[in-house]
Structure 1
Amino acid sequence: MMTNVNVLQSEKVPVLNAPKILTFAATSWLAVTTIGQWIFGVYILSFYGKSTLAGEFEKWNQVLPHGYVEGDWKGNLVVGMHVLLAAVLVIGGPLQLITQIRSRFPRFHRWLGRTYVTTAIFVSIGGLIMIWTREGVDVDSRRVSISTHAIYIIGFALLAIRYARARQFEKHRNWALRLFMVVSGVWFFRVLLMFWLLINGGPVGFDPKTFTGPFLTGLSVFTYAIPISLIILEMYFYAKKNQGKMFSLVTSAIIFIATIIMGIGIFAATMGMWLPRIE
């Protein structure tokens, strides 16, 4: 009997390493996000860049309703700059989060960071002008959500700059991550929309002709006004700081689920929207 007890005690029981699982979950999420955002960036440069250089501005309206309005050169300039600068954000953003780039190329990281923050502020201001002056968004609740989103971006950008200048780098990184999450809101919206369309086999909860409905309202709220991505990030910060096993595992599971949903949405968006327009 004692022999059996000793054998049982000597056996190694596998123990989950919660911090490592959390790190792996976050790394997996970043890898999938990077691939998805870079595909989106190539699509922006290919579709909008080529049509702009060719003077075929009316092509914008194939994707962006009322993106180009004949005779409104000021508004068209705002839209064009807004869209093309978005490519800087989706291509440059993930580069800022890759540890190896930060450590090996600190000067590049600093200059890209300045460009990213400045671009984010300009894109947000341009977005505010677009949604309140163009007819593409005609639902007040979505206008309010997107406006709130722009305020997040500007506020987080200023805080990231403040802590970088104060050389409080941990706080700077946290606010930079928050900024990345809210800047990625438009991308998240597209990816989650395509995920929803794919799993439902078509539009459910909204009218594709008017682009209105409860699903789109809810998606706008939880992508822009009360970003789920930001909530998950705060859970990640808390888990990293406190290292509670159960909370870390729950957070890891949520990040893994979010990564799978994003992966499906990225695939759907790439095959259904982006790839067909990359020439």
Structure 2
Amino acid sequence: MTTSTTLFPPEKVNIPYATRILTFAATAWLVVATVGQWLFGLYILLFYGKSALTGDFERWNNVLPHGYVEGDWKGNTIVSLHILLAAILVMGGPLQLIPAVRRHVPRFHRWLGRLYVTTAIVVSTAGLIMTWTRGTIGDTTQQISISIQALYIISFALLTIRSARARQVARHRAWALRLFMVVNGVWFFRVGLMGWLLINGRPAGFDPETFTGPFLTALSIFTYAIPFSLILLELYFFARTKQNKALSLVTAALLFLCTLITGIGIAGATMGMWLPRL
């Protein structure tokens, strides 16, 4: 693993134009994703935070099935912790990928990184408990897929910690990027779903009442169990390493397409899901 695996390679003289386009495409996606993640984080704080402050915990059930169960203080504590830490993940994750933060405030970067990795492990563990003890919307395939994602998160978090302690900077950044991709599986799912609804103008390929159907099955598999985001990241790593013109341009084109789809999904989620609930 070389430093070329980082999303933001150091400046060099005479960088091939295909590599510059590839880097620009990756940066464009990150900028759009960062805006979307911070909007989602703001929604989490305002929706769940406001409900908690006003004592209207049952409102959580409008979003999370059995999110609040009267008398179940242990389960409610796990759900509350999951929500709070999820906000930390979506707000803090993009900050870890910004080079200026690493360069100018390295101590903040290190401490935020420790918090991020620890939070990822706790949230994924809490998510597993919630999925199999309180149930969730969707079918068994969706439950299994999101459980596989939790295992990815825990594994990648431990590998991120291990490489950091070994002072393997390039390897650490690569594992941190992989962790970032799988941690945001739920966000990718929401954005993908709302983008699909926005494009089709109605639920297509699934039943909105039972939240099951071929589209949701495919979306859950390729978001959680076999994450397309992770596959694309590995393709980016490979293209950066090989420095092949054709491969770099094809990868850049895929990233630009994903940026467009992500932007559409963010717009759909903001207007159709997050803002109406505030």
Match of 1:33 in 2: 33
SS at match of 2:206: coil
Contact 1:181 1:230 in 2 (8 A): yes
Contact 1:157 1:176 in 2 (8 A): yes
Q: Distance in 2 between matches of 1:25 and 1:272?
A: 27
* AA aligned opposite 1:260: L
Report 1:10-21 matches (<5 A): 17-21=17-21
Q: Distance in 2 between matches of 1:164 and 1:227?
A: 24
Structure 1 position 276, deviation (Å): 2.4
Structure 1 position 138, deviation (Å): 5.3
Structure 1 position 135, deviation (Å): 2.6
Structure 1 position 247, deviation (Å): 0.3
Match of 1:223 in 2: 223
Structure 1 position 17, deviation (Å): 1.1
Structure 1 position 250, deviation (Å): 0.3
Report 1:153-168 matches (<5 A): 153-168=153-168
1:75-116 CA-to-partner distances (Å, cap 9, x unmatched) read 111111111210000000000000111111100000000000
1:130-155 CA-to-partner distances (Å, cap 9, x unmatched) read 00011324522111111100000000
Q: Distance in 2 between matches of 1:30 and 1:138?
A: 29
* AA aligned opposite 2:80: G
Match of 1:97 in 2: 97
Q: Distance in 1 between matches of 2:134 and 2:149?
A: 18
How many residue pairs align between the two structures?
A: 263
* AA aligned opposite 1:154: I
Contact 1:67 1:136 in 2 (8 A): no
Cα 1:138–1:75 shift into 2, 3 Å = farther
Bigger Rg, which one: 1
Q: Distance in 2 between matches of 1:238 and 1:248?
A: 9
Q: Distance in 2 between matches of 1:41 and 1:277?
A: 14
Match of 2:69 in 1: 69
Match of 2:50 in 1: 50
* AA aligned opposite 1:63: V
SS at match of 1:234: helix
TM-score normalised per structure 1? 0.93
Structure 1 position 196, deviation (Å): 0.4
Contact 1:131 1:137 in 2 (8 A): no
* AA aligned opposite 1:109: H
Structure 1 position 273, deviation (Å): 1.1
Structure 1 position 265, deviation (Å): 0.4
Q: Distance in 2 between matches of 1:107 and 1:126?
A: 28
Q: Distance in 2 between matches of 1:247 and 1:76?
A: 49
Match of 1:5 in 2: none
Identity %: 69
**Alignment RMSD:** 1.0
* AA aligned opposite 1:247: L
- In structure 1, stretches of 5+ residues that fail to align are 1-15
Q: Distance in 1 between matches of 2:265 and 2:138?
A: 25
Match of 1:125 in 2: 125
Match of 2:83 in 1: 83
Contact 1:79 1:126 in 2 (8 A): yes
SS at match of 2:118: helix
- Deviating more after overlay: 257-266 vs 57-66: 57-66
